[in-house]
Amino acid sequence: MAGEFWRQSRFSNKGINSAVKTVDFVDIAMSEDQHVTHIKPTYHVTVSEAPKFDLQSYIANYKGRTVFRRLYLIASCSTALQEEAARLAVAEAKKGSDVNQYQDAVQLLATITGQDVQELMDKKWLSNQEKQNAAESKRLENELKQYKNNLIRESIRMGSEELGVHNHNTGDLPNALKSFNRMRDYCTGPGHIATTAFRTIAVNIEQRNWLGVQSQVAKIRALQQMKPEESAKNQPKIFAAQGLQYMSLGDYKEAANFFLDVDFAALGDNYNDVISANDVAVYGGLCALASMSRSELQNKVLDNANFRSFLELEPHIRRAINSFCASKYSQCLETLESYRVDYLLDIYLQEQLGLIYTKIRTKSIVQYFQPFSRVTLKSMEKMFGTSSISTTNGQQSSTGTITPFVQELIQMIESDALQARIDLERMVLIAYEESPRAIMQQQALDTVDNFINEARIKLLRLNAINGGLEVKQAQNKGKQTASGAMYISSLVDVSSGSGQFQGQGYSLRSARG
């Protein structure tokens, strides 16, 4: 879904084409019974520039399995931080119990440094961890069997939860989901159901199963009789998960609305195993810029006292939104462009960055042109891009080669994003305005058509009443039944313009003409 960017100026669509060619986000290893046992991420993204963030400070905002996943992505994509991130990923993997993550990190580090994998691999730790994982799995499965034999619901629930957490920590995501699904059958209260749903959401997010995330969120929302303090604690997690889901599916307006509703004080660092407060600020701000008008940005984002606390963590996002609302589009795009490298190294934003930046840039061009009836292409190119590289199809105007910026305007006009025409002879962009006379004539024709349709329905009702087809009010009943005339009206296809009704042995024709 990531679009391809054009580097046209210091702040224009910069180089996703130089950084993002194709993205194959997962390499799935299949077992004999054809279920997914291990998801090895493979990224075909190269980021040559150094990001603005400090790696140690950045990764300290997270906990759990997302720490390794983010480090692995940075090591795979960033040439400036690849070795440091790979070594941190190896160290992080050894803190946990997922031997597959450790092997992936060691292989990546060997590829980066050119060393032999066997020299970097800690075989003793690997062997011991595999034995510990197998022993722990066997112990938890035996305990769960005993709990089921004793028929104690709470013990079965806790045993299923422990087994699911263990499978999740060891990277066995399918069996983790099975355990959490079995766990829900033995939940005795809304708190237990919410806990189970959030654990399932974490696994589904790691698998990028957004339909599963939506299903679990719906279960949490349907809970009744939950304590107010528990509901207040769960609500920001729900909104953050739904915002992440909609952003990953490309529905940026819905994603922005959910991110904007996240309670800053309630979220804190309670959901750092999935998303941090800084991520909410970045995701919410970018999705809002890509989907909301200037008035909505002012009212829902800048004037939002709660979201303002998030924006304080990422002041450049607030600066970009302020610039857009103040019609300073070049400053807005320049600010976003300066953080492009950071966003390319984000685990959820990377695949959406191209489309988000394209939408923001398109909105900026449209908003810039809106007050004018005509604008010279030279002034717009100065504002949004200065590249003069000829297009691949070799199109030329009378004044020279069509620039990529002009080609971009052509694509916007063809997609109806920009209501304008281009005069290549004079190099002017002219606003397309409909004739007021044609608009008035069309409105008059629409009014006549509406009058004819309403008259046809009224005549049909009169004919039904005259024909004795009206169902009169039932006697000795408190409720009134629907009339037969209304029933007949609902069966007539008014849009066909026939004015006829056939059915139940009757034939009616309206008294037109």
Question: Looking up tokens 């224009």, which residue turns up?
Answer: 12
Kind and range of the H or E element at 501? strand 500-503
Structure tokens of 10? 């210091």
* Strand segments (E) across 331-419: 374-376, 396-397, 400-401
Exposure on the CB side of residue 122, measured as CA atoms within 13 A: 13
> Could you tell me which of 164, 185, 183 has the C-alpha nearest to residue 173?
164
Give the predicted TM-score (pTM) of the model.
Answer: 0.74
Assess contact for 199 and 165: CB atoms under 8 A: yes
The rounded distance, in Å, linking the Cα atoms of 254 and 122 is 46
Backbone angles phi, psi at 430, to 5 degrees: -110, 130
Structure tokens of 355? 């489309």
Confidence at residue 37, expressed as pLDDT on a 0 to 100 scale: 57
Q: Is 60 exceeded by the pLDDT of residue 25?
A: no
Assess contact for 13 and 411: CB atoms under 8 A: no
Confidence at residue 401, expressed as pLDDT on a 0 to 100 scale: 58
Average pLDDT over residues 94-99: 90
Which domains does the chain possess?
214-368 (1.25.40.570), 372-454 (no CATH)
The rounded distance, in Å, linking the Cα atoms of 20 and 81 is 17
Backbone angles phi, psi at 77, to 5 degrees: -110, -35
The rounded distance, in Å, linking the Cα atoms of 429 and 370 is 11
Average pLDDT, the chain: 80
Exposure on the CB side of residue 1, measured as CA atoms within 13 A: 17
Assess contact for 342 and 281: CB atoms under 8 A: no
Backbone angles phi, psi at 456, to 5 degrees: -65, -40
Question: By mean pLDDT, which of 43-52, 144-153, 224-233, 341-350 is the weakest?
Answer: 224-233
List pLDDT tens digits, range 165-223: 999 999 899 999 999 988 888 888 888 889 899 999 999 999 999 999 999 999 888 88
Q: Is 50 exceeded by the pLDDT of residue 493?
A: no
Average pLDDT over residues 15-33: 37
Assess contact for 262 and 236: CB atoms under 8 A: yes
**How many helices (H) and strands (E) in the chain?**
25, 9
Assess contact for 7 and 18: CB atoms under 8 A: yes
Structure tokens of 161? 């939860």
